[in-house]
């Protein structure tokens, strides 16, 4: 009985391997290693040249629950412009000092998209996920982290397939 079970299991494994090889076939893409790119940058301000921002008051002032900021803001490293950020942040509970943000970052090689909850201040560090990308960042994953205690500084850790 044990011999029959071993024989059947071996046959099933052999059939599975044959099917896998047949579907891969000649010309099948060979998987490549993921590429990791880290970009540390400074986010500009609404008052900077090239920036456009619109505050939308949902009641309770611009920091009230549901109020939002729609923006296009320049990004820089060592004083050199390296891209732009476009999107929206919506205020959550004022006492929680948090915004839910969804926006795109445009760098030389393409766009990445992020979304998540960020603090209103840089007193704490926070990380949100990269949810996709285009161009050189097609299929991107990773994270965007606000650097604690630094005024508007971030690190994007971008992983592309």
CB of 62 closer than 8 Å to CB of 53: no
Residue 135: which of 103, 102, 106 has the closest Cα? 106
Q: What is the pLDDT of residue 29?
A: 63
Q: What is the pLDDT of residue 124?
A: 77
Q: What is the pLDDT of residue 148?
A: 85
Summarize pLDDT for 6-41 with one digit per residue, the tens: 434 343 443 343 343 444 445 556 667 899 999 999
Instruction: Give the position of tokens 């609404």.
Output: 46
Diameter of the chain by CA atoms? 80
Domains of the chain with CATH codes: 30-160 (2.40.480.10)
Q: What is the pLDDT of residue 96?
A: 66
CB of 12 closer than 8 Å to CB of 6: no
State the pTM of this model: 0.76
- Tokens representing 158 are 């971008």
Please tell me whether residue 61 adopts helix, strand or coil conformation.
coil
17 Cβ contact partners less than 8 Å away, ≥ 6 residues apart: none
Angle 82-90-153 from CA coordinates, rounded to 5° = 30
Residue 124: which of 148, 145, 144, 146 has the closest Cα? 148
Tens digit of pLDDT at every position of the chain (161 positions): 444 434 343 434 433 433 434 444 455 566 678 999 999 999 999 999 999 999 999 988 888 889 999 999 999 999 999 999 999 999 997 666 789 999 999 999 999 999 999 987 767 789 999 999 999 999 999 999 998 887 789 999 999 99
């Amino acid at each position: 009985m044990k011999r029959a079970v071993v024989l059947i299991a071996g046959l099933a494994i052999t059939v599975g391997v044959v099917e896998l090889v047949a579907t891969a076939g000649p010309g099948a893409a060979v998987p490549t290693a993921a590429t990791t790119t880290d970009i540390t940058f400074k986010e500009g301000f609404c008052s900077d040249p090239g920036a456009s921002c619109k505050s939308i008051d949902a009641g309770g002032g611009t920091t009230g629950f549901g109020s939002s900021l729609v923006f296009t803001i320049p990004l820089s490293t060592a004083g050199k412009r390296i891209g732009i950020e476009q999107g929206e942040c919506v205020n959550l509970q004022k006492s929680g000092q948090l915004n839910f943000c969804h926006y795109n970052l445009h760098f030389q090689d393409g766009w990445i998209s992020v979304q998540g909850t960020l603090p209103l201040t840089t007193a704490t560090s926070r990380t949100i996920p990269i949810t996709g990308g285009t161009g050189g960042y097609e299929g991107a994953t990773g994270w965007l982290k606000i650097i604690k205690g630094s005024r508007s500084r971030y690190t994007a850790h971008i992983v592309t397939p």
